[in-house]
Amino acid sequence: MPYVEQLGSRLYFEVHGKGPPLVLLHGVGGNHASWFNQVAVWRDRFQLILIDARGFGKSNDAELEGRSRFTDDLLAVLGQLQLHRVSIVAQSMGAGTAIDFTCRFPERVVSVVIADSLVGLTLPDSLALRMKDVLNKTADLSQAERVLGRTHLARAPAMTTLYLQIAGFNRYTVKTLVGQQPAHTLQKLAATGVRIAFVVGTEDVLFPEDVVAEVCACIPGATLINLPGAGHSAYFEDPDAFNTRVGAWLQEGSNK
């Protein structure tokens, strides 16, 4: 199995398909296995690199540094694969790594998709206050209610169970994850000149559609992709719509 050694830790990754390289960065409730719907469709168009963040899936975290080393770990995987320039799709927690990597190494990023997340961004005061209110209102929800929309919960109980079981292979949860990542302003992200798209499920209770839309509007040229009837895990809840719309946007960037 493919691993990268980082100090005392072993980081697991998989490579599928051929084409322009595309890194998939999972959220705190996921790991490499979460992307099965994307692998099945996108491997004919992209070289997909699935990475288990340290402490998730098959990657351990011997140093107990968690998020503090996520970007360095991404650099290590890309180095082993000898990939200098990639596109990135990052869901929830994964956005922190994608945004930090993009702001530090913009010349290495073709396009970046921030899916159901504003992690890694320093928001203007008005939006930060709204997100604080969202955090308070969602604090008592179950994990399923937090990460999946009401439409999915009602129509797909088996897939809800699968989602939660995949998360069971991780060392960390949203409450136990350690480490810190840098946060970057919207201006700094915009200044990279990298193609950026924000994806948001219209039923996302953690990162509401209206807030994500306002953030997107602050970055010149950024694209907003709304997915009706999906929640915080749009890539998992409505993979057909996600794969079609995000895949087309990524393909545009690869053709330039």
Q: pLDDT tens digit string along 56-86?
A: 999 999 999 999 999 999 999 999 999 999 9
Return the pLDDT at 7. Answer: 87
Structure tokens at 98: 């994608």
| Rounded Cα–Cα distance for residues 138 and 44 (Å) | 39
State the CATH number of the domain containing residue 135: 3.40.50.1820
Q: Which domain holds residue 78?
A: 3-254
Structure tokens at 211: 């807030």
Q: Is the pTM of this model over 0.95?
A: yes
227 near 149, Cβ under 8 Å? Answer: no
49 near 90, Cβ under 8 Å? Answer: no
pLDDT in tens, 205-214: 999 999 999 9
Sequence-distant (6+) residues with CB within 8 A of 47 are 15, 16, 17, 18, 19, 20, 21, 22
pLDDT in tens, 214-254: 999 999 999 999 999 999 999 999 999 999 999 999 999 87
DSSP assignments along 7-34, one per residue = TTEEEEEEEESSSSEEEEE--TT--GGG
Phi, psi angle pair for 164, to nearest 5°? -70, -30
Quickly state the pLDDT bin for 256 (edges 50, 70, 90): low
Return the pLDDT at 195. Answer: 98
223 near 248, Cβ under 8 Å? Answer: no
Return the pLDDT at 255. Answer: 72
Count of the separate structural domains present in the chain = 1
